[in-house]
Amino acid sequence: MRTIPIPVDVTKLQFVCVRAPRPRVLNQDTGEIKTDKNGNTVYEIVLSVEDEFGRIELVKVGTSGEPQVSAGQDVTPVGLVGYVWEMSRGGEARWGISYRAASIVPAGVTARA
């Protein structure tokens, strides 16, 4: 399956950092940390997302480089995209959406994607 980035319109959403950024671990046994194609550490941030109807979801968002945000802070993901993924294990199919942002900044701060 080819993964095509799906842009997310964040203008009608409110994001709050729920867990401070931490490096994404690829292998728990070895402690290997995920890096992007440029060798930068990929950080994982858990955000609560509220839409205009008051529905709230928790999502993990990956970004390269450590975002300067902390838990409880209102934030804005810049250049947020979703990727649909699919895998089969033991004959059982699973799928979901993973999220990636060019950066995550405190709400009200202007940043380029």
Place 110 in a pLDDT band, splitting at 50, 70 and 90.
low
Which residues touch 30 (CB under 8 Å, ≥6 apart)? Answer: none
How far apart CA 17 and CA 110 sit, in angstroms, is 17
Please provide the average confidence, as pLDDT, over all residues in the chain: 91
Is it the case that residue 112 has pLDDT exceeding 90?
Answer: no
pLDDT value of residue 109: 76
**DSSP states of 77-94 as a string?**
EET-EEEEEEEEETTEEE
Q: Does residue 21 sit in helix, strand or coil? A: strand
Place 4 in a pLDDT band, splitting at 50, 70 and 90.
confident
pLDDT tens per residue across span 14-63:
999 999 999 999 888 999 999 999 999 999 999 999 999 999 999 999 99
pLDDT value of residue 10: 94
How far apart CA 37 and CA 54 sit, in angstroms, is 37
How far apart CA 31 and CA 92 sit, in angstroms, is 28
